[in-house]
Structure 1
């Protein structure tokens, strides 16, 4: 039996200025794919007066918003030209690992960013060059260590359900094990970004305060017969929910708007034991010739101006604590110190150390 502390407890944070928080998750933003061709030699500044090319690896969602509100102002202010390399988390990280990418800055979920750190792909950031760090939640400042980049957005994994499709009022992670949800339930696959979070939730439901692998898998096997499908992409959840194939399941808050578009009665619940923090990070690639410009861009993305526009456009939940949103503006995003302080955060280093074994065990004991 393996007992390890998988969750760093409920997150405590100090709020600088007025309360707020964020995510968008994805974000699974990482599910967005596509690609643009990024130049190689052109990544360095040409001659005096010509813009410096900054190559950014990202998902490509909300492209029009980012081009207008984030990239264009930065290009003008810093005499820069931003070139994008688009794809999902895994494929973009693999390109950097293989040396087939010339990016300066990379956006990844914390799960994939931890892999990049362990592979030695990221440069240490100079925090003195990113003054806006002082204005973001403690949770977001150094989610993977002081040497590496911040989270620019923080979302939450909770439970969405259709109250017209089940008599069960959902308040807790344990409610997913209720007989009323049998054959009406979906869960994320262990290989998805949120799969390990649900495995941890199963350990919590089993009565543990620290992660217990054996009891977590026992609980998953217990609910297995009532699961319609283990989804790998959020679009699968949305489709099953819209068609009435399922009534409930864990999902990131940012996608609830898609569920409500099809099922207006949809409810999103932050379980009483705590929803899970889903963080997207930004890091400078080791060897970048534009490290300072990349750090300037990180600082810009953490600014009140960018964070506020992103939040109001429902693109990302903010981590900057100096802005305020109205109740209507905050709908559908992870917002507020009271919300963020209750989030559970997985230790991504621990997750990455054990994931291969969990996947093998999942395939043997759960997926049949």
Structure 2
């Protein structure tokens, strides 16, 4: 073999090794944009890069879009870790798009509440944050202060109630909880629809987006809305006298999960990222920044932050996760029934 050929082969081999190492030291994830992505970087991404020396490439993609991309890229996925907030990990795991997780490879798994890691072996990643749905209320004007989901039906609040359209994910969970306390379940939403009709007859209004809720509280004398703890914090930061309470009958929850994508070469690094996501430090940071509820039992929060989230053994006992797969299967029919109910 000629010397030049030897150098060529040696150089090519070195390049291949270098490229492989570069790939192994980079993971690609999705995040949800805006304030969430800013917190994601501060609480997890940047600390992970500093700790491991790896790089994290972030693709802004909400749950439904990220899931669609994962499905479309089944043979050659771009994501190493994928995040969902709508239960997409259940279907993705069933379709073999996610890898099972060995809990022994996650140093923080032992401290995570059981409900947040129940199906790791099936491929459903752990929940690292929870959006808790309860009653967002004006702490100065709501009298008496609400404590129950049934309080929404109280005449004391009548025309001061804001309802959120069920095309909004938080709105859907709030409606399903109202349906449950009214005697319905996921096989029968008519009690909830009847309750909505009564509320509208008493003067409640329906909005579709978070900014509309803020407008109602700021300008139109809204007292109570069934919505998420993180948005109560957003309203308070905007200068509004708003507080959050979990209804005594239970707290609908949107699980934000971190999942290991199947068919990727650097799963060990991806698992380190997932492990950091469920660490007490990362979760305390998310609670502080956005008021998401932690799933790690070792998280320590100030009284101020703890008041806004489902916190500790007692706080998480009331969390309710309505079956995301059943919601998705019935969504179109439920939205149609909802639209007919609210048509005035």
TM-score, scaled to structure 1: 0.77
- Work out the CA distance in 2 between the residues paired with 1:184 and 1:219: 16
User: 1 CA distance for matches of 2:67 and 2:271?
Assistant: 19
Higher relative contact order (CA 8 A, sep 6+): 1
Cross-structure match for 2:336: 360
- Which residue of structure 2 lines up, in the alignment, with residue 281 of structure 1? 257
CA deviation map 1:148-206 (0-9, x unaligned) = 10100123111112254454532211121223333322122222222332332233332
Q: Is the 8 A contact 1:187 1:227 kept in 2?
A: no
**SS in structure 2 of the partner of residue 186 of structure 1:** strand
Give aligned pairs, total.
325
User: Alpha carbons of 1:344 and 1:291: their partners in 2 closer, same or farther (altered >3 Å)?
Assistant: same
The range that moved more, 152-161 or 92-101, is: 92-101
The runs of 5 or more residues in structure 2 that have no matched partner are 1-16
Residue 231 of structure 1 aligns with which residue?
A: 207
Q: Normalized per residue, which structure has more helix? A: 2
Distance in 1 (CA, whole Å) between partners of 2:296 and 2:109 is: 8
Residue 134 (str. 1) matches residue 107 (str. 2): no
* Superposed CA RMSD: 3.0
Asked if the contact 1:162/1:248 (under 8 Å) is kept, the reply is yes
Corresponding residue number in structure 1 for 2:56: 82
Distance 2:238 2:246 in 1: 21
Q: Which consecutive residues of structure 1, in runs of 5 or more, have no partner in the other structure?
A: 1-43
* DSSP-derived class of the 2:173 partner: helix
Moved more, 52-61 or 159-168: 159-168
Secondary structure of 1:246's match?
coil
Q: CA–CA distance in 1 between the matches of 2:281 and 2:145?
A: 39
Hey, what's the Cα distance between the residues in 2 that align with 1:160 and 1:253? 7
In structure 2, the partner of 1:5 is: none
| Partner residue in 2 for 1:152 | 128
- CA distance 1:229–1:102, shift in 2 (3 Å): farther
Match of 1:336 in 2: 312
Match in the other structure for 1:94: 68
For residues 310-363 of structure 1, what are the alpha-carbon distances to aligned partners after superposition, in whole Å with 9 as ceiling and x for unaligned? 344456432211233332453433322111112222122322232222122222
2:98 paired with 1:125? no
Question: Which residue pairs with 1:103 in the alignment?
Answer: 79
- Could you tell me how far 1:254 is from its partner in structure 2? 1.5
Q: How far has the Cα of 1:245 moved from its partner? A: 4.7
Q: Distance in 2 between matches of 1:145 and 1:176?
A: 40
Question: Where do residues 186-201 of structure 1 align in structure 2 (5 Å cutoff)?
Answer: 186-201=162-177
Secondary structure of residue in 1 paired with 2:89: helix
Between stretches 81-90 and 349-358, larger displacement belongs to 349-358
In structure 2, distance between residues paired with 1:316 and 1:225: 34
Q: Distance in 2 between matches of 1:89 and 1:209?
A: 25
Does 2:25 correspond to 1:52?
yes
Contact 2:24 2:269 in 1 (8 A): no
TM-score using structure 2 length: 0.81
Contact 1:45–1:52 (Cα < 8 Å) also in 2: no
Q: Secondary structure at the match of 1:240?
A: helix
Distance 2:326 2:121 in 1: 14
Note the C-alpha offset of 1:110. 3.7
Question: SS in structure 2 opposite 1:148?
Answer: coil
Change in Cα spacing, 1:310 to 1:222, as seen in structure 2 (3 Å) is closer
CA contact (8 A) 1:189 1:232 kept: yes
